[in-house]
Amino acid sequence: MTAKLSAVCAKVNPFLERVYSADRVLHPLRRIGAKGEGRFERVSWDEALADIASRMKEAIAKHGPTIVLPYSFAGSQGLLQFASLDRRFFSLLGASRLVRGLCGDTASAVIAATQGNAYGIDPEDLRHSRFIVLCRIWLIVS
């Protein structure tokens, strides 16, 4: 009997469908009309970035830099996108801090709790297994 892994986590599993979707956003868009109407107009990158910067500056002037909460996780990003310049930018800005490795940190904690280390098993050793249990763990933080 040959074991075959057919899926990854629910967030990453539909990655190819998102990347190649006909509905994928390829250009900056600005909402027109009321929120929820789904009406947008295409704008230039310069216009989109200027608008975002202006709104961030206004919010920071009114409420302080911790009003900004960076939200990005590894998901479909590469190493440079995930843990590089954005960290420096938001740190210099004085933005709120967020543990950005929810999936990976949670998985590492589970492995450490059950196996005594954060490395898991060697994938090459799976072929020697007679029985494999796959489970999904949900972490709810309130």
Tell me what the pLDDT averaged over the chain comes to.
Answer: 77
Assess if residue 90 is contained within a domain: no
Domain range for 42? 28-63
Please give the C-alpha separations between residue 44 and each of 24, 29, 35, 41, 118, in angstroms, as whole numbers.
Answer: 17, 8, 21, 10, 45
Beta-carbon contacts of residue 45 (< 8 Å; ≥ 6 apart): 28
Report how far residue 95's alpha carbon sits from residue 64's, in angstroms, rounded to the nearest whole number.
Answer: 9
Assess if residue 48 is contained within a domain: yes
Confidence of residue 127 (pLDDT cuts 50, 70, 90): confident
- Write down how long the chain is: 142
Instruction: Quick: pLDDT tens for 33-45.
Output: 999 999 999 999 9
Tally the domains of the chain: 1
Assess if residue 128 is contained within a domain: no
Name the phi and psi angles at 124, rounded to 5. -65, -25
Q: Taking CA 130 as the corner, what is the angle to CA 128 and CA 132, rounded to the nearest 5 degrees?
A: 100
Instruction: Quick: pLDDT tens for 58-114.
Output: 999 999 999 998 876 665 555 556 666 777 888 899 998 877 666 667 777 777 777
Report how far residue 8's alpha carbon sits from residue 75's, in angstroms, rounded to the nearest whole number.
Answer: 11
CA dihedral in degrees (41, 47, 52, 55; nearest 10)? -100
